[in-house]
């Protein structure tokens, strides 16, 4: 397995859990791997596929995933193909014929194709060594992306003349989902391994801007042309944000289920091939997108649960490079998700009423966990990992909470002002949402306040000297913790707990960020490679090759491989194979071109500083920075 890892995929070492899972599969045992996005799930079935005597069928839900995986594997020297609705009858027959002749080691297939008579006949005439179910959580009603077609996989396996090894993989799975995967896929005494969900290279941040689009532009200014995804809850919001970005000069495209299949394919390829740098999308985009160089994922709206968020955010930094995962939150997002959950319950007519109610309750519980993530002041990484049953320290050094100094503040007096204002507005026979309440408290003279006569109530302008973002944070806190309530129309009203606050019977505290940042963000440090001329030359060569071959640049080499070339400065094909991510096939194809660029650069720049050795882990670096900060503060 180490020979296959090096010769085909160019790596010397396995990541956590890969060796154990591959060994289990090669021993003939059914296997379930739960590994976060970027942890190397694909290698866990691709390496055994190369080694086993026969064909591996990989059942995958999306056409885009198949196409990307097949292109990438072919670049690495693995013969493979895919079968889905994008092929015409002639292409089907060609693939079936070639497969029967032993041309392929891996065939990707959509679950819907399994029960066609043509595919059943085909599967009876080839030697299937393994069936791999990718995105296996789709089989479970309790999963966040249930697909009915996955329920028929077990029937297909049972129809085969003999039973191959079954392996299943997913990025996120609660105990309920794990149980469903084993049962509904018919796994027999499976080896189950869950690797750490922690991905140190990802920075997690939650921001609560008063103007989301302005904050979005502020964030994008830091990414200097990196590829990124912006997730929105609705198609309407995708259209709105994408239109604004294009108008403001950004290289952006859009993706949602309301577009034609042709436009979705074009827009997706524009993003994968770097013709467009930003993809604005609903959650219809992304599952299985094998683009390794995504530098940031921004959630313009809060997703409906932690599972969805972590899977979507995890599409950043799959190449191991630093990447940002930012969630832009306001309380209106909660109402949008509640509406979607209600609508899903009413439309899910295939299920019994009791099952619909159980799923509804579970969805509401997940929404609550997601909302708490957006409002917590504890380490965000710790919060996510704890959700998946994994322990983590209190300080990760790479999230917005750890990088901001919080303090517990008594907000009882402010809370009384805010609740009193809500009471006076209601007493005046008016209803209003949070934004208008903030305007009244701040003493705004806008038309809505004046025309409603709210400038005449006693609580008008009683918080005129308070920061608008703090008032908004306190108002969010009061509604989230039940001291105020929101109607379906998003109007703020009294709750059963409001009176106790007004009477002074209840003390209210919340954690608020101090102005001071305790340490600089690692993800914004200017690294050596941003200025390195050799790195730029290698990227230019990589892009030329990708354009000539009509494949995405990351399929030629990842940025991590280019950086390793800068460190090792290979001069021969043999030395080139020592670079991380360079297998024999790629060395044969590319060693000459890349070694020439490196040799010319070294010759023309004899005094250039050598690229630094691989950096410390993120945790090591953050702890070092934190210790330095503590020492400096103590000395002052």
Euclidean distance between CA atoms 14 and 3, whole angstroms: 12
3-state helix, strand, coil split of the chain in percent (to 5) is 50, 15, 40
Say if 629 falls within a structural domain.
no
Q: Residues 422-442: pLDDT tens digits?
A: 999 988 888 888 888 998 999
Q: How many domains does the chain have?
A: 4
Q: How far apart are CA 22 and CA 193, in angstroms?
A: 11
Residues 501 and 533 in one domain: no
**560 vs 636, more confident:** 560
**Residues 396 and 410 both lie in one domain:** no
The predicted pLDDT at position 517 comes to 43
- Dihedral angle over CA of 532, 533, 539, 540, nearest 10: 160
Helix axes 468-480, 412-427, angle to 10 degrees: 80
The DSSP string of 247-282 is HTT--EEEE-TTS-HHHHHHHHHHHHTTSSSEEEE-
Does residue 19 form part of some domain?
A: yes
Give the model's confidence band at 482: pLDDT under 50 very low, under 70 low, under 90 confident, else very high: confident
Query: What is the rounded distance in angstroms from the CA atom of residue 636 to the CA atom of residue 633?
Result: 5
Same domain? 44 vs 182: yes
Mean pLDDT of 574-584: 91
Extract the tokens encoding 251. 């290289």
Average pLDDT score over residue span 47-74 = 87
Across the chain, what does the average pLDDT equal? 86
Q: How far is CA 235 from CA 437, 569, 581, in A?
A: 29, 48, 38
At 299-343, the pLDDT tens digits run 999 999 998 899 899 899 888 888 999 999 987 888 888 888 888
Contacts of residue 114, defined as CB under 8 A and 6 or more positions apart, other chains included, come to 59, 120, 152, 153, 156
Beta pairing class for 492-494 and 484-486: antiparallel
Does residue 628 lie in a domain region?
Answer: no
Query: Distance of CA 136 to CAs 166, 349, 351, 481, Å?
Result: 12, 23, 21, 36
Query: For 15-24, 139-148, 295-304, 331-340, which range has the lowest pLDDT when averaged over its residues?
Result: 139-148
N residues, the chain? 636
pLDDT at 516: 43
CATH number of the domain enclosing 570: 1.10.150.80
Summarize pLDDT for 177-190 with one digit per residue, the tens: 889 999 999 999 99
pLDDT tens-digit profile of 535-562?
Answer: 999 999 999 999 998 888 888 998 889 9
pLDDT digits (tens, 9 = 90+) for 232-287: 999 999 999 999 999 999 999 999 989 998 898 899 889 988 899 999 999 878 66
C-alpha to C-alpha distance for 383 and 434, rounded to whole angstroms = 28
CATH of the domain at 214: 3.40.50.300
Name the pLDDT band for 622 (thresholds 50, 70, 90): low
pLDDT at 375 (0 to 100)? 84
Q: Which helix (H) or strand (E) holds 126?
A: none
**DSSP states of 20-78:** HHHHHHHTT--EEEE--TTS-HHHHHHHHHHHSSSEEEEE-S-HHHHHHHHHHHHHHT-
Q: Return the higher-pLDDT residue of 192 and 331.
A: 192
Residue 85 has pLDDT above 60, yes or no: yes
Please tell me the number of Cα atoms within 13 Å of 271 on its side-chain side. Answer: 28
551 closest CA partner among 583, 579, 578, 586: 586
How far, in Å, CA of 379 to CA of 401, rounded? 5
Q: Distance between CA atoms of 566 and 486, rounded to whole angstroms? A: 57
Instruction: Classify residue 93: in a domain, yes or no.
Output: yes
Written as six digits, the tokens of 6 are: 């090096």
442 Cβ contact partners less than 8 Å away, ≥ 6 residues apart: 461, 463, 464, 466, 468, 471
For the ranges 10-24, 57-71, 152-166, 172-186, which has the lowest average pLDDT?
Answer: 57-71
**Band of pLDDT at residue 518, cut at 50, 70 and 90:** very low
pTM above 0.75, yes or no: no
Which residue has better confidence, 365 or 620?
365
The reply to whether 21 and 58 lie within a common domain is yes
Could you tell me the sign of the dihedral formed by the alpha carbons of 87, 91, 96, 98, in that order?
A: negative
> Tell me, what's the pLDDT at 619?
53
> C-alpha angle 409/415/419, rounded to 5°?
170
Under DSSP, the state recorded for 519 is: S
Cα 584 to the center of its chain, rounded Å: 31
In tens, the pLDDT along 434-472 reads 888 998 999 988 888 898 899 899 999 999 888 777 888
Per-residue pLDDT tens digits for 114-124:
988 888 888 98
Instruction: Report pLDDT for 330.
Output: 87
Residue with tokens 């917590």: 376
Q: Which of 62-66, 140-144, 512-516 has the lowest mean pLDDT?
A: 512-516
Three-class secondary structure of residue 630 per DSSP: helix
Query: Could you read off the pLDDT of 145-169 as tens digits, one per residue?
Result: 778 889 999 999 998 989 999 999 9
* CA 316 centroid distance within chain: 6
Of the residues 517, 546, 578, the one at which a domain ends: 517
Which of 194, 224, 254 is the last residue in one of the domains?
A: 194
SS (H, E, C) 382-436: HHHHHHCCCCCCCCCCCECCCCEEEEEEECHHHHHHHHHHHHHHHHCCCCCCHHH
How big is the CA angle at 232 (ends 228 and 237), to the nearest 5 degrees? 120
What confidence tier does 412 reach under pLDDT thresholds 50, 70, 90?
A: very high
Q: What is the pLDDT of residue 525?
A: 38
Residue 632 included in any domain: no
Q: Does residue 609 lie within any of the structural domains?
A: no
Q: Is the same domain home to 339 and 418?
A: no
Dist CA 102 CA 198 (whole Å): 40
**Inside any domain, residue 634:** no
Mean pLDDT of 486-502: 85
Distance CA 580, CA 570 (A): 12
Strands 165-170 and 202-207: unpaired
Higher pLDDT, 229 or 84: 229
* Cα dihedral sign, 27-30-34-40: positive
What's the mean pLDDT in 614-624?
Answer: 54
Within this chain, do residues 367 and 279 fall inside the same structural domain, yes or no? yes
Question: Quick one: 270 and 209 in the same domain?
Answer: yes
Same domain, 553 and 431: no
Measured CA to CA, the distance from residue 118 to residue 122 in angstroms comes to 6
Task: State whether 463 and 547 are in the same domain.
Answer: no
403, 432, 461 — which closes off a domain? 403
Containing domain of residue 17, as a range?
2-194
Give all strands of the β-sheet with 294-299 in edge-to-edge order. 202-207, 323-328, 294-299, 227-231, 278-281, 252-255
Same domain, 559 and 585: yes
Percent of the chain with pLDDT over 90: 40
- Residue 210 lies inside a defined structural domain of this protein: yes
Helix residue spans in 300-411 (DSSP H)? 306-313, 332-347, 353-375, 380-387
pLDDT, residue 206, reads 94
- Same domain assignment for residues 218 and 330: yes
Exposure string for 36-47, b = 16+ CB within 10 A, e = fewer: bbbbbbbbbbbb
Do 378 and 260 belong together in one domain? yes
**Residue 441 and residue 432: Cα distance in Å, rounded?**
13
Predicted pLDDT at 417: 93
């Amino acid at each position: 397995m180490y020979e296959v890892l090096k010769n085909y995929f160019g790596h010397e070492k396995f990541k956590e859990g890969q060796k154990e899972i591959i060994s289990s599969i090669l021993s003939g045992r059914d296997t379930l791997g739960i590994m976060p996005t970027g942890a190397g799930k694909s290698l866990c079935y691709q390496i055994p596929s190369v080694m086993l005597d026969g064909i591996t069928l990989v059942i995958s839900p999306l056409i885009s995933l198949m196409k990307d995986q097949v292109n990438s594997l072919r670049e690495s020297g693995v013969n493979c193909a895919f079968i889905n609705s994008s092929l015409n009858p002639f292409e089907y027959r060609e693939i079936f014929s070639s497969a029967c002749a032993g041309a392929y080691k891996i065939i990707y297939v959509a679950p819907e194709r399994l029960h066609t008579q043509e595919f059943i006949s085909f599967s009876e005439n080839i030697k299937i060594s393994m069936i791999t179910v990718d995105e296996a959580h789709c089989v479970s009603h309790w999963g966040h992306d249930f697909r009915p077609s996955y329920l028929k996989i077990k029937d297909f396996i049972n129809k085969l003349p003999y039973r191959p090894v079954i392996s299943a993989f997913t990025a996120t799975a609660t105990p309920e989902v794990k149980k469903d995967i084993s049962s509904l896929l018919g796994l027999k005494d499976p080896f189950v391994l869950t690797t750490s969900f922690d991905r140190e290279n990802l920075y997690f941040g939650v921001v609560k801007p008063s103007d989301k689009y302005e904050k979005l532009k502020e964030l994008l200014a830091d990414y200097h042309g990196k590829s990124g995804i912006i997730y929105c809850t609705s198609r309407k919001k995708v259209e709105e944000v994408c239109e604004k970005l294009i108008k403001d000069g950004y290289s952006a495209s859009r993706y949602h289920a309301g577009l034609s299949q042709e436009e979705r394919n074009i827009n997706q390829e524009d993003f994968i091939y770097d013709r467009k740098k930003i993809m604005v999308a609903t959650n219809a985009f992304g599952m299985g997108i094998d683009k390794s160089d995504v530098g940031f994922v921004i959630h313009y709206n809060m997703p409906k649960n932690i599972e969805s968020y972590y899977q979507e955010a995890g599409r950043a930094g799959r190449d191991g490079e630093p990447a940002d995962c930012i969630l832009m939150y306001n309380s209106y997002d909660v109402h949008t998700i509640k509406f979607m959950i209600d609508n899903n319950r009413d439309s899910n007519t295939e299920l019994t009423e009791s099952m619909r109610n159980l799923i509804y309750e579970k969805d509401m519980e997940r929404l609550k966990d997601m909302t708490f993530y957006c409002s917590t002041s504890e380490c965000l990484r710790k919060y996510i990992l704890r959700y998946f049953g994994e322990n983590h320290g209190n300080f990760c050094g790479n999230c917005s909470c750890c990088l901001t100094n919080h303090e517990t503040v008594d907000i009882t007096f402010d809370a009384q002002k805010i609740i009193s204002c809500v009471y006076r507005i209601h007493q005046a026979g008016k209803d209003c949402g949070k934004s208008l309440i903030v305007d009244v408290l701040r003493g705004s003279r806008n038309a809505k306040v004046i025309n409603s006569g709210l400038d005449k109530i006693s609580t008008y302008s009683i918080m005129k000297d308070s920061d608008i973002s703090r008032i908004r944070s306190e108002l969010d806190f009061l509604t989230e913790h039940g001291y105020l309530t929101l109607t379906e129309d998003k109007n703020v009203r009294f709750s059963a707990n409001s009176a106790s606050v007004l009477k002074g019977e209840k003390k209210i505290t919340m954690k608020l960020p101090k102005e001071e940042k305790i340490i600089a963000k690692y993800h914004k440090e200017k690294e050596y490679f941003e200025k390195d001329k050799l790195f730029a030359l290698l990227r230019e060569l990589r892009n030329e090759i990708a354009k000539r071959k009509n494949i995405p640049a990351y399929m030629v080499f990842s940025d991590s491989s280019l950086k390793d070339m800068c460190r090792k400065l290979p001069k021969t094909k043999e030395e080139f194979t020592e670079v991380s991510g360079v297998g024999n096939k790629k060395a044969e194809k590319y060693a000459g071109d890349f070694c020439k660029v490196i040799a010319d650069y070294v010759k023309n720049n004899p005094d250039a500083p050598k690229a630094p050795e691989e950096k410390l882990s993120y945790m090591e670096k953050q702890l070092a920075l934190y210790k330095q900060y503590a020492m400096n503060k103590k000395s002052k």
